[in-house]
Amino acid sequence: MRPVSLAFALALAAAAPALAAPARIPAAQSAAHVGQTVTVVGVLSGVHVTGGGSVLWNVGGAYPGNPITIFIPLRVSGIPDGHALIGKTLAITGTITRYHDKPEIVIKDKAQVAVAR
């Protein structure tokens, strides 16, 4: 194999994990995946619209027992507040962080949210 072809093949192989789809996890396992980019699957249990217009979704259980919160800043367009989605199973992709010691995903683009199949 030519050196350039070998270098390209090695670079492609190294990038393969980054190109793979994020792991799908149930909402209940969110705390074990802080710092990772995953797709969290769970039932939307509740919605709270803040005074500033941002939206908080409780996924996997009712607040305060929900295992993860989805935060949708006001500036993200194209996502409904979620009231019509309560009771539906959602697939939310993003990096899990902690906010007030609770797992959270911050939505930056509507493509991160889908109704699960």
What distance in Å separates the CA atoms of residue 106 and residue 86, rounded to the nearest whole number?
Answer: 19
Torsion 59-104-47-114 (CA) sign: negative
pLDDT at 39: 98
Q: How many CB atoms lie within 10 A of CB 56?
A: 19
10-residue stretch averages of pLDDT, the chain, 117 residues long: 49 56 97 98 97 95 97 89 94 97 96 91
Whether the pTM exceeds 0.75: the reply is yes
pLDDT at 6: 47
